[in-house]
């Protein structure tokens, strides 16, 4: 029998959208990363999930301790309670992360907010664009730099984001007819 030799399997060219450099090249030059806002959202989600897990463990231990010999339905109740805790943990973490975009960019005629999960939302620039700081958070345990709760609105589109301090300038809409 002949000796086996390694076989080279030809692969297609790499996809352009799979490389990190290609993804960052698609961002406009005016893109500014929201580092502190993302850090705050991630840490807040982690605190939320850990607190929920501690509550679940406390209630589960309390239920096991107080029910006589396991009692009928105790396992099913704990499983249902655990499923509710998991749904709340995932939902809360997604909610925390969804408010902190990856960054923002000024393009021709729009303020574009790049979402944490890959989407983007464009707010048309003009007299109707409103950028209002609703809350300021100092640097601390959740973020190394100060962050702000910022409401961005244009027309009927209105969203609230957690952004790094100074990432967008505050701007109130120009009254129509003045």
Instruction: Give the start-to-end residue ranges of the domains of the chain.
Output: 32-98, 108-164
| 3 state SS of 33 | strand
* 145-169 residue pLDDT tens: 999 999 998 888 889 999 999 888 8
Q: How far apart are CA 162 and CA 145, in angstroms?
A: 12
| 3 state SS of 159 | strand
pLDDT value, residue 146: 92
Q: Is residue 8 predicted with pLDDT exceeding 80?
A: no
pLDDT value, residue 65: 77
pLDDT value, residue 22: 47
Q: Which residues of 26-156 form beta strands (DSSP E)?
A: 32-33, 103-107, 110-114, 120-124, 129-137, 147-154
* 20-55 residue pLDDT tens: 544 555 778 888 899 999 999 999 999 999 999 999
* 61-103 residue pLDDT tens: 887 777 666 565 677 778 888 899 999 999 999 999 999 999 9
- Backbone φ, ψ for residue 45 (5° rounding): -65, -40
Residue 148's DSSP bridge partners are 136, 163
Q: How far apart are CA 178 and CA 172, in angstroms?
A: 14
Tokens standing for 121? 């939302």
Q: Distance from CA of residue 68 to its chain's centroid?
A: 44
């Amino acid at each position: 029998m002949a000796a086996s030799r390694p076989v080279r399997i030809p692969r297609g060219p790499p996809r352009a959208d799979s490389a990190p450099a290609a993804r960052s090249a698609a961002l406009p030059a005016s893109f500014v990363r929201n580092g502190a806002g993302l850090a705050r959202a991630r840490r807040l989600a982690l605190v939320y999930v850990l607190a929920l897990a501690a509550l679940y463990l406390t209630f589960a231990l309390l239920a096991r301790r107080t029910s006589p010999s396991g009692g009928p339905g105790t396992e099913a109740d704990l499983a249902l309670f655990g499923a509710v805790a998991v749904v709340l943990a995932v939902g809360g973490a997604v909610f925390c992360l969804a408010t902190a975009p990856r960054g923002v960019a000024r393009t021709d005629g729009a303020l574009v907010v790049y979402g944490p999960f890959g989407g983007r939302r464009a707010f048309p620039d003009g007299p109707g664009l409103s950028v209002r700081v609703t809350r300021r958070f100092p640097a601390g345990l959740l973020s190394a730099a100060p962050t702000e709760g910022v409401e961005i609105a244009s027309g009927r589109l209105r969203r609230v984001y957690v952004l790094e301090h100074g990432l967008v300038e505050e701007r109130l809409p120009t009254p129509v007819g003045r």
